[in-house]
Structure formats: C-alpha cells, structure tokens
Structure 1
Amino acid sequence: MKKQWLVRYSEIFLKSDPVRRQWENVLITNILEVMPGIHVRNERGRIWLDGDVKPDLLKKVFGIVSFSEVEHIKLDEIESFLPDYCHRHGLDKVKTFAVRMKRVGKHTFSSNDKAIEYGNLIRGEFPHLRVNLATPDKEIHIEIRANEAYLYDTVTKAVGGLPIGVEGTLVALVSGGIDSPVAAWMMMKRGCRILPVFVALDTFLDETTIARAERVVEVLAQYQPGIKLTVIRDSYLAAAKQELVRRHLEKYTCLFCKRRMYRVATAFAVQAGAKGIVTGESLGQVASQTLDNLVVLTDAASVVPIHRPLIGFDKEETMKIAREIGTFSESTSKASGCKAVPSGPSTKAKLSMILEIEEKLEATKMPLPV
C-alpha cells in the first residue's frame, strides 16, 4: 500500500487534447511552484502527487476542483485490504455507509457489480451497518484504473477555475478596498496572471492607503505566488483638481482622477504585454460607477479592454467573496482614504463635455509616469 494524493480538475477535461495537455502542464507547474520537490504524474482527468503535500496550499491552486489523500494498491488486493481500511477509517463508529465506485479501462465487471460486491464485504465485517446511497454517514470511494486501485473516504474542495496563466496576463487596478482585490481574484480564477497596480495620486493619499493595498496583495499571493504590488506615483490630480476648482467644475474630479488611472494602467499594460485591465467597479455603487460615467471612464482606456467582473454584484455579494478568500480583514483595516472627493460628484457626465474640458486643462499635458 502506498499513500498518494489524487487531484481532480473539471473544465480542463472539456478541452481538445492539445489544449488539455497544455493546460494540464500549466496546472502541474503551478502545483510545483507552491510545493517544490513533490513528484507529479498525470493521466487523463487525474493528477497524482507523491511527497510532502500540503493540503492548505493545494486548496488555493486555481484549476483544482477537489483532491483526496488515497491509498494505492493493486486491483487484486482490494478484498484483503478493504476490511482493515474500513476499520482505520471509522466505519465501526457510524450507522450507514455507501460505496462509490469509479472505473477506468476495460474489465470483465461493471462498476455496479463491484460496488455491490465490496458493499457486501463491508457489511460482513460490520453487521450493524446499513446501506444509504442518498445521505450516508460515511462514504468509501474506490477508483479502479486498469489493474490499479485507489481508496479514499474524504473529498476536499479546492478553489476550482482555470490554471493561472492559461489565459494570459492582466493589469489590475488595486486600491486596497473591498472590491478591487475580489475583482483581481475572480480573473485569476479564470486563468489570468495578475499584475496589481496602485496609482498613488500624490497630495490626496498617504502611506496608510498604500500599505493597506500592499497587505491585500500579500493575501492574493496565496493564490498567485510571487505577486507584488507596483506603486506608480503621479502628481496629475493635484494640478487637475486646482484647475477644476478654478473653473467651478470640481464635481468632475473623480472622473478626471479615474480617467488618469485608466491611462496610467493602460500604458503599464502595453509595456508589460498584458491583454487588458481589471477594475472592481460595480454598476451604480458610487457616483463614478453609473452607466453614464462608465462610458466616460472606458473611453480613457481605448487601447486595451476593461474587465469588470463585479459589474452586476451588490456589495453584500462582493463582501461574501472577500471574506471567503481572506482579503476582507485587510481591506477593511484603517486607512486614510482619498481626500480629493468633492461633496457633490457628477453622476451623469457626458463624454463630449469631459473631452472638451480636458482639452483646456494644462494638467492633461502632463506625461504619464510609466
């Protein structure tokens, strides 16, 4: 008997053979990145791990839907091995059980035949047990692959999704608040490698806000090892705000601020070879995220697409995910926040008007800091 770990994926299995093999290799590389030194082998639909496997790390590898610690034996050893296995895994302490069979390869028997056979063998060893296929107290899983057999009684859910990297790279505008880290995480889950960027608008933000964003990204590093926050400092907003106040157009401050952030992120994305930008915007959540204002913002990033995975979420839904992935505590930690927000921000700006105002602002001529 040999102990191993069985890793399952889902969506990868649906791909064509060349894509499936490529994505399997990416997933294996990502596993080895968090647990170097373990031995990995793969078959269609399954990955097997030997060595110092750490379940808490495995749970956070995107692409893995679930995993189990298994005991690996030969097919012809099951009958002699099964009673002892069931004793060690607590069948004497439960009232009902079920045998879950999976079979791969050509055999002279069906999965149902073996499930009945092994179920009767277990009941012979534990006469008090009753079979309950719907809601058993204990499940014994037996997976037969050719002449090999794998036994396990626990299935641990993992984060799922696609392996990080299979869909390319995106730049994520990360403020450190609740929404933007969740948005970045959601795109990680869909196979994107994330480059988090914090645009520090000098004068209106202090180091506490940057420090919070850095701590949030450290949490995201549990899902994408090695991820680091890039802080880009920019003095544009101080100059633009002064001009907007002088022209009695202060209500557009947030839109000019975010358009500048979009342009900085776009330049960074082009420089890094990224395929787009991720933001944490949710429709109607704040003044700058109304449908009208999102048109104004999107115009500032015409070179690359904007991805807004939270666009249809309400705040409670986003907070729930933030708690689940571990960013909520850091995102709600104390930080100063932006001091440039006007008392009555515009909610229905027109793109033509914003472009006209920009043309007249000297601050618009300031070079991008990337």
Structure 2
Amino acid sequence: MLYHLTLSADITIKSPSVRRHLGKILATNLRNALRRVEPGARVRAEWDQIWARLPDTLERHTLEQLEQCMARTPGIHLVARVERTSVSDLDDLTRQTVARWAPRIQGRQFRVSVRRRGRNDFSSTQAERHIGAALLAEVDDASVNLSHPQVDVRLRMEGDHLLHHVVEYPGVGGYPLGSQGQALVLMSGGYDSPVAAWKMMRRGIKCHFVLFRFAGEEQLQAVHRITHHLWQLHGSSHQVNFISVPFENIIDEIRQHVDEGLSGVVLKRMMIRAATRVAQRARVPALVTGEAIAQVSSQTLHNLALIDDASHLPILRPVLADNKQDIIDLARQIDTADLSASMPEYCGTVSRRPHIKANHHAVVEAEASLDIEALIKNAVDEAWSGKLGRQAPPVAKESLATVQLESLSPSSGQATTIIDVRSPDEAEARPLPEGHADILQIPFYELQTRANELSQERHYLLYCDQGTMSRLQALHLRDRGINNVAILAPVSS
C-alpha cells in the first residue's frame, strides 16, 4: 500500500536548504517508527513530500496502527493512502474522478484541487474546471465553494498516473522530532506533564524524562507506564531516557526542618536543582514542567519565579496558560487521559496554609537548614536510568501492602497496631476511628529514633492522610530490617 505524506506548514515555509534538511530528518523518523512495528516499511523523501509503502498483506489492526503512527509523527500535515491508476487524457481523468467522487459530494459544497508533476496536454486549472463541470452535471444537488468547501476533491497527477486519496488522516504538524534540540521533562504522571511533553515533542524537541520518586514502587511503575505509553505513541522514532531519582530522604528532611507553608516551594526548588544536575550530566540544555499558573499554591506567578531561581537552565512550561479542561481534552486527544486519570494523587508535601506568595528571604533561610548539596548529590547518584522501550525499572521483590481500615477487627486474632505518623495537630484535628486496632501516636519525625520500641511480634500499619509520608516511613523501617509493616489506606473524613 502506498501513502502520500504532506509536510507541515512549519516546514514548507522554510528556505529550500532548510526544507530539504527537515524533510530528511522527518523521513528518518518515520522509517524508525514504522519499522518498530513492520520491518518491511519503506519511506522515501522528495522535495516537498514523503512517500511511504507498506506490505499489502498486513492485518487490519496492524495497518491501522501504522497509519496512526504516521499521523502522530511530528512534522506531518496530512497522511493519505493512495491508489495509482493510468490516465490517457483529460476526459479519462474526468471519468475516473466522477466515478469515484460523485457519491461523496451529493448535497454538499465541493472544490476540485489538482496538482501535477510531469508533462500533460492540460494545465491544472483546465483540469479543475473540466472536472468540476462534470461533477456538477452528474450530481444535481452539489454546488461549488472554492473558499470553504465541505469536500475537497484532491487529485495528484504523476506524469500519466492519477493518485487517488482513498483514506486521509490529519497530521499533528510541527517540526520533526529531534530537529530542534533536547529537553528533560519532569514527569508526575498526571494530566499536565504528559501534555506538556507532547507539546514540546510536536515542536521538534526530543524529550527525556525524570521522575522524583517519593511514593515507592507503585509510583515508579505507574509513571513509567504512562511515560512509555506517550513515547510509544508519539516519540518512538528516537531512543530516550527515563530517570528515576529517589526523593524520599529529601522530603523527609523538608518535613522535619522547613515551615509547612514554605514546604511546597522548597520541594519544587529541590526538584529543579536535581533535574538540573541530571540534565547537565546528559548535556540536555533545558527543563520542561507541566506547571500551569495558579493550578496549585506553588504555581502562582510569584512562586514560579522563586522556583526558576533554583536553576540556571531555562524552564519551559508549555501548558502555563492553559485551562485545566483544555489540558484534559488534549490528554484525551493524545491518548494519555485514561492512564493519568487512574494515577493516585501522590503529594510530597501537604500544607493546610501554603504560601501563595512566598518570601524569597524566608525560602533561602528555610533551605539553610538543609544540606542541599549532599541531599541532591546522594539522590542523583542513586538514580536509576534506562531507555524507554528497552529497559524497565527494576521491580521490588516485595512491595508494601495497603490495608483498608474496614478489614481490621480486634477479634481477627492478628496482633495489629496502627502507627499514626501525622503531626500531633493533624492527628487531633482528624482522629482515626477507634475500635479496629490499637493506635499508637508517633509523629513521622520521631519514628526512626523510636524504631527500637517496635515489637517483632506485632504487625504495624502506618497511617497519614495522603498515604505518602506513611509509605516513606514504612520504607525506612524496611531498610532497618523491620519488615512487619504495611500501609493503612487513607480514611475518608
């Protein structure tokens, strides 16, 4: 099967040398992406177009997958499956066109567009007028609209052959992936960061991905899954890295030493510092985030400026001015919405009174209580890195179980104690229901120093409102050889 691919307007407006260069990159990208699915795919670049040929024996689902792959490739304006027939003269061209297009224009406004390469006895304009008149004579209720047609009868002549557009798929436009440099995307797995990454990819930026992990194995696997899905659909022409940076210790330090109202901004600044270190090691010149103005307290314009101050690299925010619903709609369009919707909400820090206009001096003073250089160095040195599509993050042999409060009963015979790791104020404001198991109040910042008080004869369930800090503390206990721990799921108020 033969496909004709039209280049995006971003490419066609360039000078001849730049257009030729971008066309070659685009052809290589298409070849790489298609051959991941079908090794027999062939791609050929010409001056202002690209031709792709697929084996005629493909199964339907494979054919559809490859057609969507072409349509999703940045730099393409239109993908058309074409059929080639011989044409003897203008009358023969007209007969073939009327036979194919007359049923499609009934009751509709149409326009005939003819493009030719090679020598013919007629011009493109003559062909358009002749065919248009024949279609009007054949279809009584059709009419011509040259400016805004409902149906565009597009014909392409290659010498004495006519190429019929059998099926058309709109492309995403933009520039060929990799033609405009590289960037490192901070991935969370929600709606925003995959959409931000896709927007950069559509503009020709090759994107690598970094996750700051603070919620254990489940978070790592979930974010890797959505990142791989995004890459597989929209960026598989290139090999890119996925990096997982452990941030549990950093969050632990922030929760212990930083004022609650500043913790969100300080955490984001630490992420930016770590991302800068990762990017520099990979020689990547820019960072990308999914932040949007005022979406959360750390994303006010004032706080974003404080976050920017943590890195000398440019921080690009493709969805900065987008409405949340627009981001969700675009996530549906690029097919990441379902995975994003299933992502648990992992919050590294939660404040009841976050500062939406944090004071710069107060932030710097708060950070002075942290050993920033050591924390960042240790986190980045312990990072895991792998190629998407080739290497998956290691799966822990034993993951932390999550237990529902309703499943606990004092008569179950299991010696179970709930450890509430929230601060005393939080525990007093939202006490856990009693009667399910013994409850022990040990704030997260005291638990590790009191770990020797825990009995090996009992089973401990750690609890916090979001399930993040409890998981962090449980992992710390595991590291100390205390394995009889699990997580108590957040309790609805």
TM-score, length basis structure 2: 0.67
Corresponding letter in the other structure for 2:20: R
Identity %: 27
Aligned residues: 359
Measure, in 2, the Cα distance between the counterparts of 1:364 and 1:242.
Answer: 18
How many angstroms does 1:298 deviate by? 0.5
2:355 is aligned with 1:343: no
Deviation at 1:243, TM superposition (A): 1.4
1:91 pairs with 2:103:
yes
Gaps of 5+ in 2: 56-62, 381-493
Could you tell me which residue of structure 1 aligns to residue 3 of structure 2? 5
Alignment CA distance shift 1:15-1:274 (3 Å): same
For residue 219 of structure 1, what is the aligned residue in structure 2? 229
The structure 1 residue matched to 2:164, chosen from 137, 151, 163, is 151
Change over 3 Å in CA distance of 1:240–1:110 after alignment to 2: same
Counterpart for residue 331 of structure 2: 322
Q: 2:257 aligns with which of 218, 243, 246?
A: 243
Q: How far, CA to CA, are the matches of 2:118 and 2:89 in structure 1? A: 18
Residues 94-113 of structure 1 mapped to structure 2, 5 A cutoff: 94-96=106-108, 97-103=110-116, 109-113=122-126
CA contact (8 A) 2:105 2:139 kept: no
Bigger relative contact order, structure 1 or 2 (CA pairs below 8 A, ≥6 apart)? 1
Q: Alignment partner of 1:48: what SS?
A: strand
Where structure 1 has 5 or more consecutive residues not aligned to the other structure, the ranges are none
State the alpha-carbon separation in 2 of the partners of residues 317 and 231 from structure 1.
29
SS of equivalent to 1:311:
coil
Select which of 259, 271, 275 maps to 2:281. 271
Q: State the alpha-carbon separation in 1 of the partners of residues 218 and 286 from structure 2.
A: 28
Cα deviation for residue 83 of structure 1 reads 2.7
SS in 2 for 1:180: helix
**What amino acid maps onto 2:204 in structure 1?**
G
Alignment of 1:230-309 (within 5 A): 230-234=243-247, 235-244=249-258, 249-302=259-312, 304-309=313-318
Work out which of the residue numbers 356, 365, 369 in structure 1 matches 2:365: 356
SS of 2:176's equivalent in the other structure is: coil
SS at match of 1:320: helix
TM superposition shift of 1:271: 1.1
| Structure 1 stretch displaced more, 264-273 or 104-113 | 104-113
Amino acid in the other structure paired with 2:223 = A
Partner residue in 2 for 1:172 = 185
> In structure 2, what is the Cα distance between the partners aligned to 1:250 and 1:24?
52
- Based on CA coordinates, which of the two structures has the bigger radius of gyration? 2
Q: Provide the residue aligned with 2:82 in structure 1.
A: 70
Deviation at 1:120, TM superposition (A): 3.7
Give the C-alpha shift of residue 326 in structure 1. Answer: 1.1
Maintained 8 Å contact 1:198/1:231: yes
- Output the CA distance in 2 between the equivalents of 1:77 and 1:153: 22
Classify 1:78/1:361 alpha carbon distance in 2 versus 1 (closer, same or farther; 3 Å). same
1:42 maps to 2:41: no
Secondary structure (helix, strand or coil) at the match of 1:194 reads strand
SS in 2 for 1:159: strand
2:83/2:166 contact within 8 Å kept: no
Aligned residue number for residue 55 of structure 1: 67
Q: Secondary structure at the match of 2:266?
A: helix
Q: TM-score, normalised by structure 1?
A: 0.87
Query: Does the 8 A contact of 1:208 with 1:335 survive in 2?
Result: no
Q: CA-to-partner distance for each residue in 1:155-196, whole Å, 9 max, x for gaps?
A: 421111111100111000000111111111110111001101
AA at the equivalent of 2:13: L
Instruction: Please state whether the residue corresponding to 1:24 is helix, strand or coil.
Output: helix
Deviation per CA, 1:54-110: give whole Å up to 9, x if none. 312111111111121223345645633553454355628834554222345777744
- Structure 1 161/227 Cα, relative in aligned 2: closer, same or farther at 3 Å? same
8 A Cα contact 2:72 2:234, kept in partner: yes
Contact 2:270–2:376, Cα closer than 8 Å, also in 1: no
Offset of 1:315 from its aligned partner?
1.0
TM superposition shift of 1:266: 0.7
Q: Tell me the secondary structure at the aligned position of residue 172 of structure 2.
A: coil
Residues 78, 39 of structure 1: CA spacing in aligned structure 2 closer, same or farther, 3 A cutoff? farther
